[in-house]
Structure 1
Amino acid sequence: MQTPYLPLAGLRGLILGVANEHSIAWGCAREAHRQGAQLAFSYLNDKAKQYVAPLAEQVDASLFPCDVTVPGALERFVEQGVASLGGLDFAVHAIAWAPADDLHGRVTDSSRDGFNQAMAISCHTFAELGRLCEPHMVQGGTLVTMTYHGANVAIPHYGIMGPVKAALEGMVRYMALELGPKKICVHAVSPGPIMTRAASGIAGFDELLSTAQARAPLQRLVTQEEVGALTAFLVGAGGSGMTGQTLFVDGGMHAVG
């Protein structure tokens, strides 16, 4: 019997942002595992662990706590994750948060504290992750974060996360420039709207889903599996000549406005 080809065999990766089976991060993790990668997951707290632990078990991933708002937590997660994997080749950053009042209100009315919190958790943690992963990616590697088209155009109800994601995409370009000499590639993946726990907090999200389905050239929504397949391509050999990009997997929605 022929041995199946596993494009990510031997690669080791950290996955941040799996909350439940609907998470985009879970789609990325599941596909990476299917292609042969070894994984380590983060989980936010004990309440979240009950949902994340069974998923980690499905893909033989090690599991460690990480609340990025707690000083030192991200450092401990990377240290524990790398130790469990015996090295590091890629990391997927799929965490974002903003206070409800600022998320649901006008950008014009956003509070300074709310904006700072959203930026710190949703954007700056990617820079922190890059800094922490860099010493472990001795043969090079790949860092991937998740963004959304609301970074490029103003989308009703996306609010403060639009400017935050715009900053994140800028972060990707600068990190690509700085880490390129270490053979570390940096990307943002921009999925179309997918019903996740985080997305459910956006007002009018059902309308956003229906609009995307109607207007996208492919006339459908995208899936976790498609986001996972793109992410797996980027962290594998196929993406080795690419860096600093925002890649859309949104049925073509970004091309039509």
Structure 2
Amino acid sequence: MIDNTGKNALLFGVRNDSSIVWAIALKLVESKCNVALSVDHDNLSVVQTLVKDLPIEVFACDIRKDDELELIFTVLGKKWQQIDYMLHGVAYGNHKVMCSSPPGVKEEAPDFIDIPFDDFMDSFDISAFSFMRICKMGRSLLAEQASILTLTYHASQKVFPGYAGMAINKAALENMVKYLAYYFGKSGIRVNALSAGLVMTTSAGGIKGVRKLRKMTKNSAPLGNISKEDVANGALYYFSDLSKGNTGNLHYIDGGLNVMAVATDQNE
């Protein structure tokens, strides 16, 4: 087991116990890392209940607001002095950005070419630019050889119609990883991305046809579907000294689906 005794991790993006970021938080606690979570105001009470018996500190934060982020870094700077690991797991796009209307939303979603600018820019701010924002605001606290990680999805590379505008956000996020890896390299800080396969999180539930996609992955990916614990194990590698030679990586944890050119059925 990786020993992170004395290390400090700040994670952004927990919504509930189905979140990939929550699975990563539990892995870090198991490795004896100090953990703090930044959660959206709407999810604060849910997450506070989750951490009730765990040594995890929780902050409510709108990741679009500099003053709320600054407060988190100020408090942790006094408590920890430095941050060793930082995770960006925040993403949001409404049905107008996803170009598909989930159950309960009666308004018809637009075609891809008609995505409203304001809706898209809000989703970009939350899902992509916020990664730049937390890196900028947290850089003075980052330890030597700190590790920064974000979560992405293969729709950045291939067409997933039910993901639509969010795919643009993920593509931008992956490009930011490359440039931030270069920027922070001179400080010995590494920046990487995990491209996770479809896990049945609350966020994934908003993707049109998600259960069909999960079935396709089960039948087509060499290793089948993955779990949020699989992603958490991958994150733990980057949140340890084992990954000191890695930066700028796009690391797939999707059962191998990304290598497949066509959908297949391994049971045939």
Counterpart CA distance in 1 for 2:76 and 2:215 is 39
- Structure 1 window deviating more from structure 2 (151-160 vs 50-59): it is 50-59
- Segments of structure 2 that go 5 or more residues without pairing to the other structure are 101-109, 262-268
Structure 2 residue aligned with 1:106, among 88, 106, 111?
Answer: 111
Aligned match for 2:48, one of 38, 48, 53:
53
Cα distance in 1 between the residues matched to 2:79 and 2:210? 38
Say whether 1:214 aligns with 2:209: no
Q: How far did residue 54 of structure 1 move?
A: 2.5
1:164-183 aligned at under 5 Å gives the runs: 164-183=169-188
Q: Partner residue of 2:9?
A: 13
Query: In the alignment, what sits opposite 1:241?
Result: 245
- Equivalent position of 1:28 in the other structure: 24
Deviations 1:102-137 (A, max 9, x none): 212432121111221111110011011111221112
For the pair 1:255 / 2:251, whether they are aligned, the reply is: no
Deviates more, 1:206-215 or 1:100-109: 100-109
* 1:64-117 deviation line (CA, Å, top 9, x unaligned): 111113342222222223433342101111000112222124321211112211
Q: Which runs of 5+ in 1 are unaligned?
A: none
How far apart in 2 are the matches of 1:197 and 1:81?
Answer: 28
Runs of 4+ with deviation above 3 angstroms: 81-86
| TM-score, scaled to structure 2 | 0.89
Tell me the equivalent position of 1:81.
76
Report if aligned partners of 1:39, 1:60 keep a CA contact under 8 Å in 2: yes
1:70 maps to 65
2:225–2:255 contact (8 Å) kept in structure 1: yes
Query: What are the Cα deviations for residues 159-188 of structure 1, in whole angstroms up to 9, with x where unaligned?
Result: 111111001000000000001111110011
Aligned residue type for 2:32: G
**How many residue pairs end up in the alignment?**
251
What SS does the aligned partner of 2:62 have?
Answer: coil
Q: Which residue of 2 aligns with 1:91?
A: 86
Query: Hey, what's the Cα distance between the residues in 1 that align with 2:9 and 2:120?
Result: 30
Instruction: Kindly indicate whether the alpha-carbon contact (under 8 Å) linking 1:102 and 1:114 is maintained by their aligned counterparts in 2.
Output: yes
Counterpart of 2:190 in structure 1 is 185
Measure how far apart 1:29 and its partner are.
Answer: 0.6
How does the TM-score come out when normalised to structure 1? 0.93
The root-mean-square deviation of aligned C-alpha atoms, in Å, is 1.5
Task: Compute the displacement of 1:208 (Å).
Answer: 1.4
How far off its partner does 1:211 sit?
1.2
CA 1:177–1:74 in structure 2 vs 1: closer, same or farther (change >3 Å)?
same
Residues 117-196 of structure 1 correspond to what in structure 2 (within 5 A)?
A: 117-196=122-201
Q: CA shift at 1:234, angstroms? A: 0.5
